[in-house]
Structure 1
Amino acid sequence: MNTPHTPGIAAKRISAEDLAENFADLHAPLDAHEAAVAADRCYFCHDAPCITACPTDIDIPLFIRQIATGTPEAAARTIFDQNILGGMCARVCPTEDLCEQACVRELAEGKPVEIGRLQRFATDTVMESGVMPYGRAAPTGHKVAVVGAGPAGLACAHRLAMLGHDVTVYDAHAKAGGLNEYGIAAYKSTDDFAAREVEWLCSIGGIEIKNGMALGAELNIDDLVGCFPAVFLAVGLGGVNALSTPGDDKSGVEDAVSFIETLRQVGDLSSLPVGRNVVVIGGGMTAVDAAVQSKLLGADNVTIVYRRSRDEMGASRYEQDLAASHGVKLLFNVMPKAVHGNEAATEVELEYTSTKGGKLVGTGESLRLPADQVFRAIGQTLSEDAGLKLDGRKIAVRDGGKTSRAGVWAGGDCAAGGDDLTVTAVAEGRDAAMDIHTTLMGGK
């Protein structure tokens, strides 16, 4: 992150003790008794709607029953069979919009079974034991390249290794994990969990990770296809959209993605500078994560501004309420017109919006907000398409992740058709691995 030399941006706004409390685990893990009580609320429905709502198709009633009967290890196996990154997904998956929203208890009582926390209880039990519950099949003799060590790439690599293939994972970053390591709010993934999950996942064997290798720079798609019978691209979305407004280049204006990445990797949170008046432009999870963490670092005033209505905001209502509970103000139907100030940002000018004929338009009415730090969180773009056919702004895929080029598959945020969720990326990586395996084994 570029640290602006701006009077209103400074480090050490609050004490180290307050920072530690602010960035503690968002949801404390359940102990064994709490898990048993929570599991007892499940109706163990036949044709349970929660399963249908889960992008990875975990048999949720089964794993909850296994917790209820005192066998969390079996519950974890039920989860990992479908989602090898079930530990991280238990922490970051929007369960309030997926499985828990579909829960019969939610529909009947307005209080669902705590599926996410129960999943964490089961997966943490196994991961903390250090046991990898899967072995490798007999070697197939095939080597597969995976580009990108995020959720999709790791899920693909693990499933391929389990099926007997050797896998080389290339990643542009210094550490594996992708979004889990660099892009999630620190209070959602504490105690270096992302790195520990990668280490545990790779303990199956047969997976080699090479860092500092970016597609389009150190890696060439033609070379990869020439060296490997199958290549899986899970490169995510590396580009960030610009504001395209006057003042976008002023000191104090930066990408929310870079801010979150720096925060996740910094050793001392008190050394991270933050403004007194922070404005975050955008309506997705990145916007919420940047806004809440700015407040937790000690910003006086933090505002999320979104050009459309509350209901159209990409971040869930739960996340919106989480932001509000931390003192973040949310403004809807406003769009940025300019960032004002001399060399550094001091104000953001916004224009109110309305929808006419299905098109978003400005009303001509404006307002200004004090802002010494402005974060762009208005979406990310594909930074390298490897010359593949695109569907919109992402790589076009079909049938298990196949791309327009033979021998190349894609999944996760870089591939069209997904919803940019960690759990969906895991499902796409897993399914692509199965399709790659079938192809390499001659359809068997």
Structure 2
Amino acid sequence: MTNSPFSEGIVAGRLATADLADNFADLHPRLDDHEALVAADRCYFCHDAPCMDACPTDIDIPLFIRQISTGTPEAAATTIFSQNILGGMCARVCPTETLCEEVCVREAAEGKPVEIGRLQRYATDVLMERGVHPFVRAPETGKKIAVVGAGPAGLSCAHRLAMSGHDVTVFDGKAKAGGLNEFGIASYKSVDGFAAREVDWLLQIGGITIETGKTLGNDVTLDGLRAEYDAVFLGVGLGGVNAMGVDGEDKDGVLDAVDFISDLRQASDLSDVAIGRDVVVIGGGMTAVDAAVQAKLLGALNVSLVYRRGTERMNASVFEQNLATSKGVRIITNASPKAMIGNGAVREIEFEYTDNDLKPTGQTVRLAADQVFKAIGQSLDGNDLPDLEGGKIAVDDTGRTSIGGVWAGGDCATGGDDLTVTAVAEGRDAAEDIHATLSA
């Protein structure tokens, strides 16, 4: 009997439970009290604070770090939450290395920035663990707002509206609230059910009702919401997954990376998650890296991340790329998928090398693969929507759409980068404009 490279197939339990627990432990463990004081002491508390300019939610970073340094982390957390109510999750998943920490004066002078992200997590964790909600709801206004999508944008919008005294109903198609934070990020970035706990903590403001299993266009309609509510905010995210358009894409073993990540996040036992021996991830963003790294951590022998452009064009940050390679992921660039090969199930993928202009070079390579994850971008899914621009809901600077009384934000809208922290900012700012409009 020959020892075929595909003989092991896609199976669960490749690693022992203890090994899986170690592999999926917290990527950046929380600082203890002494570590936080030492880290805060490195901040220059700059007058012009370039870190604040780089933060999409405009958190007063020097102020909250100074509050940590004076032994008042609860005050620091309140400073953070006043701008970013999901500051706990953003501290875990925000690419600080390309935002606030990249422009830190310490980074320019020493190549080692102040650990802003970890300090933010320290402060927010301290306050949340004490069961304290730092804000009080204003007197009820009698106004009702519908929010579609319980992800970062929708939750941020809902909280700010509730804080202003409005009643908010949040509709979401999933069985649980949280959106990307609950279903779409690597497990090692958010351990111990933090996403769900953060939602519960956020709801302490009062005035917010969440209805799960309700999708726009099926269970609720935009016209129906406009008739029943005083305003509508759409934070529906990007539910569709782009197709590669190559031969054999429908073979068994070819899966969407977002579904893989979601299934893994919801798994009660990681040893039940099946993974291949030879895994190939196609894409160059954060989702691709999250899928590739977790495939390796689950016990895949060979994991390759293949991107059609060079590493400098990857949406995944240099930190994320280095994380992938440190875990044993091989990154192959300037290669586009040409065909999935196999009899029923995928067994190999043929790639064609490209130049920097994506023109084929004529050279090809085949990679063994019993499992393929597509991470080539997502698209807006649905037809009961305002006017679109470039495949997303067209909005102005305040989040207003082409339909009166309807705002939008987050990944589904044209407002900015597809980042959790950006979605939070857009939801917050739309809520402010909704409040101003309803109060006029």
Q: Give the TM-score normalised by structure 2.
A: 0.98
The answer to whether the 8 Å contact 1:6/1:251 transfers is no
2:368 maps to what in 1?
A: 370
Shift in Å, 1:11: 0.4
Provide the C-alpha distance between the structure 2 equivalents of 1:233 and 1:7, rounded to a whole number of angstroms. Answer: 45
- Aligned-partner residue type, residue 381 of structure 1: S
Q: Displacement, 1:386?
A: 2.4
Query: What is the CA–CA distance in structure 1 between the aligned matches of 2:404 and 2:21, rounded to whole Å?
Result: 50
1:396 aligns with 2:394: yes
Runs of 4+ in 1 over 6 A off after TM superposition: none
Quote the Cα distance in structure 2 between the aligned partners of 1:198 and 1:353: 44
- Structure 1 position 201 matched with structure 2 position 202: yes
Aligned partners of 2:293 and 2:165: how far apart in 1? 43
Q: Out of 402, 417, 420, which is 1:419 matched to?
A: 417
Distance, in Å, in 2 between the alignment partners of 1:72 and 1:119 is 9
Amino acid at match of 1:370: A
Kept after mapping to 2: 8 A contact 1:136/1:163:
yes
Match of 2:236 in 1: 235
Distance 1:401 1:305 in 2: 35
Amino acid at match of 2:380: L
Q: Secondary structure at the match of 1:102?
A: coil
Q: d(CA) in 1 for partners of 2:383 and 2:208?
A: 25
Which structure 2 segments of 5+ residues have no match?
Answer: 1-5
1:317 equivalent in alignment to 2:318: yes
Distance 2:216 2:144 in 1: 18
Structure-1 residue corresponding to 2:358: 360
Aligned positions of 1:49-88 closer than 5 A: 49-88=50-89
In the other structure, the counterpart of 1:338 is 339
Q: Which amino acid aligns with 2:423?
A: A
Q: Which residue of 1 aligns with 2:3?
A: none
Question: Matched residues in 2 for 1:6 and 1:342: separation?
Answer: 14
* Aligned positions of 1:82-231 closer than 5 A: 82-231=83-232
Letter in 2 for 1:205: G
Compute the displacement of 1:361 (Å): 1.4
SS, match of residue 244 in structure 1:
coil
State the Cα distance separating 1:211 from its structure 2 match. 0.2
Seq. identity, %: 69
Please give the root-mean-square deviation of Cα atoms over the aligned residues, in Å: 1.0
| Matches of 1:349 and 1:375, distance apart in 2 | 15
Task: Answer yes or no: is the 8 Å Cα contact 1:411–1:432 preserved in 2.
Answer: yes
Q: Note if contact 1:284-1:314 (Cα within 8 Å) is conserved in structure 2.
A: yes
What is the distance in 1 between the residues matched to 2:88 and 2:196?
12
Once residues 287 and 114 of structure 2 are traced to their aligned partners in structure 1, the CA distance between those partners, rounded to angstroms, is 27
Q: Deviations over 1:243-269 (max 9, x none)?
A: 110010000000000000000001110
| Cα distance change on mapping 1:184 and 1:6 into 2, 3 Å | farther
Give 1:385 deviation, angstroms: 4.7
Secondary structure at the aligned position of 2:67 is classed as helix
For 1:378, give the aligned amino acid.
I
Distance in 2 between the 1:127 and 1:387 partners?
36
Once residues 9 and 350 of structure 2 are traced to their aligned partners in structure 1, the CA distance between those partners, rounded to angstroms, is 18
Gap change, CA 1:157 and 1:387, over 3 Å in 2: closer
How many Å separate the matches in 2 of 1:366 and 1:23? 35
CA contact (8 A) 1:6 1:252 kept: no
The CA distance in 1 between the partners of 2:280 and 2:81, in whole Å, is 40
Shift of 1:399: 3.2
* Contact 2:397 2:415 (8 Å CA) reproduced: no
Matched residues in 2 for 1:387 and 1:399: separation? 18
Residue number in structure 1 paired with 2:277: 276
TM-score (norm 1): 0.97
Could you tell me whether the CA contact under 8 Å between 1:76 and 1:119 is conserved in 2? yes
Q: Is the 8 A contact 1:144 1:168 kept in 2?
A: yes
Displacement after TM superposition at 1:412 (Å): 0.2
